[in-house]
Amino acid sequence: MSSPVSSLGGKPLRLVVMAKAPLAGYAKTRLIPALGEQGAAVLAEKLLHHTLEECVRADLGPVELHVAPDSSHAYWQGFSMPRSVSLYGQAQGNLGQRLWHATGNARALGQGLLLLGTDCPSLTVQRLHIAALGLQKSDAVMYPAKDGGYTLLGLKEVQARLFEDIDWSTEVVARQTLDRLWECGMSCQRLEALADIDEPDDLTFLPRAWQESALLG
């Protein structure tokens, strides 16, 4: 599928994906009561592959995967991912510090980016294109999460303030990030609210085919 947006200001976007290794007892721990440790890990891996596939198919620019534990971990050394995806380890520190570090290539090259995790199966090629198109008119775009966070943040340029003094993993992350954008004088287009798959009740937001598969018993 060819992208409706090949560049922003003459430069391609970078898609920066943050991910935890889908290991039993490490990933998607809040889903363990519903799926068990192994089931939660299987779902986490499916979400990871789905996110990378959609990012590559969107054809918006380079795709980076920033991972924990470090990229030298055995899981990542054996991980099969699209050849066009570059693998990086996450920095130490809180989520804001890790996000800032992950945007380093985009900052160094003066590129816009789409920053996302792997928890939202609704971030399809079409929605990635919508976000990229939004950056043609706004300094930032956001797909808020139904739980008060955000599933994607698109930026024409990255400023450190956007990741500072945020109460991460709470229902105020999106609101506080919008406040930081305002502080930085950046306009933001808010897109539709999407669901992250974090809690057992969120499993109803999985694609129907996933719900009907053996994945969920």
CATH of the domain at 168: 3.90.550.10
Question: Alpha helix (H) ranges present in the chain?
Answer: 32-58, 74-77, 95-102, 104-109, 125-134, 173-183, 208-211
Residue 36 has phi, psi (to 5 degrees) of 80, 165
Peptide bond preceding 69: is omega within 30 degrees of 0, i.e. cis? yes
Among residues 200, 204, 201, the alpha carbon closest in space to that of 40 is found at: 200
Q: Let me know if residue 213 belongs to a domain.
A: no
- Asked, for residue 72, whether it belongs to a domain, the answer is yes
pLDDT of residue 192: 97
Cβ contact 44:197 at 8 Å: no
Mean pLDDT of 142-163: 97
Residue type, 103: T
Q: What is the mean pLDDT of residues 32-53?
A: 96
Q: pLDDT band for position 211 (50/70/90)?
A: confident
Map tokens 């930081």 to a residue. 180
CA dist 76 and 78 (Å) reads 5
| Residue 73 lies inside a defined structural domain of this protein | yes
Region 2-17 average pLDDT = 71
Residue 208 lies in a domain: no
Asked whether residue 180 is domain-assigned, the answer is: yes
Residue 215 covered by a domain: no
| Domain membership flag for residue 4 | no
Return the pLDDT at 103. Answer: 98
**CB 51, CB 62: distance < 8 Å:** no
Res. 212: pLDDT tops 90: no
Domain that holds residue 61: 14-203
Q: What is the mean pLDDT of residues 74-81?
A: 93
Handedness of CA 76, 81, 83, 88 (dihedral sign): negative
Residues with Cβ < 8 Å from 192, sequence gap 6 or more?
Answer: 143
Structurally, how many domains does the chain consist of? Answer: 1
Arithmetic mean of pLDDT, 38-65: 96
Distance of CA 184 to the CA centre of its chain: 22
Residue 203 has pLDDT above 50, yes or no: yes
For residue 2, what pLDDT band results from cuts at 50, 70 and 90?
very low
